[in-house]
Each structure stands twice: as structure tokens, then as C-alpha cells.
A = this chain, B = another copy of it.
Amino acid sequence: MKELIEKYKEYRKKIKAYGYAFGLIGWDSSTVAPVNCFKYRGEQIGVLAEEYLKIEKSREYKKIVNTLYKNRDKLNKELCKEITDVHKSLTKIDKVPTKEMVEYSILTNNAMAAWEKAKNESNYEIFRPYLEKIIEFKKKYVKYCETKTLKGYDVLLDEYEEGMTQKEYDEFFNLLKKDLVPFVKKIAKTKLEYNRSFLKKRFETEKQKKFMLYLQKVMCYDTDSGYMAESEHPFTNAFGICDVRITTHYYEDNVSSSIFSVIHELGHAKYMQDVDKKFEGTFMDDGASMAMHESQSRFFENIVGRSKPFWDKHFKELKKEYKDELDGITVNDFVKHINEVELSYIRTEADELTYPLHIMLRYDIEKMIFEGKVTAKDLPKVWNEIFYEYFGLKVKNDKEGILQDMHWSDGSFGYFPTYALGSAYGAQFLHAMRKDLDFDKACKEDTVQSILNWLKDKIHKYGGSKYPKEIIKKATGQDFNAKYYVEYLIDKYSKLYGVK
């Protein structure tokens, strides 16, 4: 056994090292790489990927993992979880014919370009033939990967959030439909009164950058183990626990955009910086799941970052940078602005309250696809109908409707639901945290360290060594329960809007 574990670690070391190189090349691609580099870069990545796959797909590695998996009861708990995860993904790779996977990766590569074109021209028909083929492959893929317990769409849901199935998501979204949809409609009818004059001002980028450095300190970001760059779309990228980077994008006509994108990404980043150092170099060095990650970024962004107590403390610092632009604006004005609810078309621009409705829509559609109730041809019609049901708005064009998100162009079916689930996890964590500490007071401190201590102890430090369900149970004393999310939203927005 000992020897086998050593051999496994040798393979893991290699796989991690290639991953490190790919990760860093990817970071460079999304931040500073010049446009003309990509053809040559693609060739270099291709060569390295071939070398990498020789290792990951080697018979010896597979044999080692299989043997360890069979004897997993003899491993310590953490290695047992890791081997179980690796075994699961290797088994899956084996089930799908390599030839079909290669064809599919070419297909998604082309589909991405077609989607971009279609979106730019707001013409779904350009994208449709690609999406048809992607759906066709994904259905075949699901068939290949089905197990005794996982069938149909569940196969995909499980890939993004292990242990979550259609049954559980249905319960979750049904609760939202019942309680949240009518509430959102009521709120959306109410107008929030505040001084909006600053929304027309220009917020100089250099000053935004200075404020972000301040925010980094407030959110306890360890810049000796991180770095912040600019990119088209904000993201977080980790190269081990010791190097967790984030990006943002500055808009001079919208000062809150970069503020909340930075706080959001710092939520991801702190999760990774706080993982126990003993997981460095293992596959457990990242978060427990997609939704668990999203729970941390949204906890930072919405629950802490959009709270009144937080800005009671920090708004004066923002005003220091923008004396003229924020002249006469109160904390209340600002807090109302950053929490204003609007029924709108674009998911990525949605507020905290309407956001889960955008996800519900996508979940409904994905379910219908894998239940065979809808084909690619019907999708815009179906999208627009459900959108009207939830938002009461007519979709004006494909660009602001079915074509707005990239996810389906690379076949990421099953991904969207984790976004809403993450917010719900966050609300349940808040409920539990309030029992241990004075949350509002903690938001008002110089830094969010007290909040982070709780998150680190209950969630972050475990990295990927526990399943999401285990973490939730241990952190909150209960299984996942979506009611905390609905309660949190209704409580917050009833108060803000003075609506019962």
C-alpha cells in the first residue's frame, strides 16, 4: 500500500505541474497576452497537453488509482476522498470513446466562435446548428456515464455539484417559485427613493484602483500570496494556496461595478488562501465544489459587501477618493443604490434579489432539454415564454435573451444551478454564523477578519477534502435548507423597500 501511495503521489506531482503551467498560460491569456500570440500559443499548449495526457491516461496510473480505490477503507479520510474523486473522473474518461471526445472538443471550439458571432448579430440561427450538435453529444455522453443512481440530467448536475440531483434542485427552485417570484413582482413595483445624482458622474480609474487596494486590506486579502490584474471579465485564478490572483474591470461611468466584482472575486480568493497548507500539492487544494465556491464569493459580495453596516464603516473612504463625485451623497443613498431591484434581461447584471430567477429559467430549460421536451429549434421561444412568466417582460432580441450566456456554447449544462445554490448556502451560513458572532458589528470592523475566522474554521480550511453536504451539516448543524435563503431575501428587501 505504502509503495502504491508513493507511486500515486509521483503521478499527482506530474499532473499538478502540467496543470500549473496550463493555468499560468491561461492567466496570461486572459490578462496581458497580445492578440497575435494565440495561434503559436495554441500549438505549444497542444504539444504540452499531449505530453500531459500520456501521463494522466497511462495504464499504470489507472491501475494505481483503481487499486487504491478498491482499498480505500485502508486510506486516511482525506486521501480516501481524493482517490474517490480521481477514480470517479478517470472512470468517466474511460466510458466515453476518445474519438468522440476529440470531435466534441473541436465542436465546442467552433461553437464558441459561432456563439460570439450569433450574439454580436443577435441572430440565434447562426448558433443553432452548433447547439444542436452539442446537445446531441451531451445526451450521448449522459448515456455513456449513467450509473445505477445517476440518470439523465443528474449525470451533469453531479459533475458541477456532487450529490445534487434534479430531485433536490426541483425542491429548491420550487420553493423560490412559490415564495420569491410573487415577492419580486411586488418589490419591482415599488420605487426606491434616494439621491441618484452621482450615477451620472465620471469615476476616474486611477482613483478606483486606489480604493481597490483599500478594499483588499478590508477583505484581508494576502497580497504576498496574490495579485490583482485587469481583464475583460473578472475572475479568480489560483496557482496553489500560495498564489491566488484575481482580476477586475474598471468602468468610469459605474463605480460600483468594479467594487463588487472585486469583493466577489476576493470571496473566491480568500477561500483558496485559507485552505489548510497541508493540502498544497494535492487535488484537495481548491474549494469543495462550484456552489461552495460561489457561496463564499456571494457571501462576500452580497451579504457582507452590500450590507449597511459595511458601508457605515467604509463609505467615508470611498468619499475621500471622490470628494466631488459623491458630494452630498449619504451612506443610505449609496446602500439603496447598490441594492436596488430591477427586473432586467441580463443575468450578469442582475441584482441579488432577481438573480435566482435568471438561474431558474436556465434550469427549467436544461431540464426540458434532457427530458427531450424541447429541441434547439424551439429554445428562443421557450426562453422568451418562461422569461415573461418570471419577469413579466418581453424579450426584445436573442442577444438579450437566449444568446446572452457563453455556457451552452461549451456544453456546460448543469453549471448554472450552482450559482443560485451558492447564494442559498451563503444564507444558511449567515444564519449559523449569527449564533456565534455579532455579524452586523463584524461588518463594521476595520477588516472582515472575525467573519473570515468563522468561514475559515467551518469551510475554507478543509479545501476539497470534504463533500459540500458534509461541510454544510458540520458548519450549520443541519442539512441544506433553502428556506434560509428565501427568508434572508424577503427580510432584507422588505425592510429596504418598506414593503410587507
Which chain A residues have a beta carbon within 8 Å of chain B's beta carbons?
Answer: 13-14, 16-18, 20-21, 24-25, 27-28, 32-37, 39-41, 43-45, 47-48, 51, 206, 222-227, 229, 239-243, 245, 280-281
Contacts and interface: CB of A to CB of B under 8 A. Distances in A.
B47 A225 contact: no
Contacts of A44: 16-17, 20-21
A243 B24 contact: no
Stoichiometry, as copies per complex, reads 2
A242 B241 CA distance: 32
Nearest to A52: B51
The 3 A-B pairs of least Cβ separation, nearest first, read A37-B243, A17-B47, A20-B44
A43 B48 CA distance: 18
A28 B28 CA distance: 8
Given A24-B25, A24-B28, A28-B24, A240 B37 contact: yes
Nearest to A18: B48
Nearest to A243: B37
A280 to B, nearest CB: 6
A207 to B, nearest CB: 12
A32 B245 CA distance: 10
A9 to B, nearest CB: 12
A281 B240 CA distance: 31
Contact of A243 (B36, B43, B241): B36
Nearest to A28: B24
Contacts of A280: 40
A32 B229 contact: yes
B224 A35 contact: yes
B33 A227 contact: yes
A225 B37 contact: yes
B229 A34 contact: no
A308 B25 CA distance: 42
A240 B40 contact: yes
A250 to B, nearest CB: 15
12 contacts: A17-B44, A18-B48, A20-B48, A21-B44, A21-B48, A34-B225, A36-B224, A37-B243, A40-B239, A40-B280, A41-B239, A43-B281
Contacts of A241: 40
A245 B25 CA distance: 15
Say what secondary structure dominates the interface of chain A: helix
A229 B28 CA distance: 12
Contacts of A41: 20, 239-240, 243
Nearest to A244: B34
B227 A36 contact: no
A40 B224 contact: no
A24 B220 CA distance: 29
A32 to B, nearest CB: 5
Contacts of A17: 43-45, 47-48, 51
A13 B51 CA distance: 12
A402 to B, nearest CB: 33
A307 to B, nearest CB: 29
B227 A34 contact: yes
Given A20-B44, A28-B28, A37 B206 contact: no
Contacts of A226: 34
A252 to B, nearest CB: 15
Nearest to A19: B44
A14 B43 CA distance: 10
Contacts of A25: 21, 24
A241 B34 CA distance: 12
Nearest to A23: B44
A43 to B, nearest CB: 7
A39 B17 CA distance: 13
A210 to B, nearest CB: 12
Contacts of A34: 223-227, 242-243, 245
Contact of A36 (B13, B35, B43, B242): B242
Nearest to A10: B47
A240 B35 CA distance: 13
A198 B118 CA distance: 56
Given A14-B47, A239-B41, A281-B43, A225 B21 contact: no
Contacts of A32: 227, 229
A286 B382 CA distance: 56
A198 B309 CA distance: 49
Nearest to A223: B34
A45 B34 CA distance: 24
Nearest to A29: B24
A366 to B, nearest CB: 37
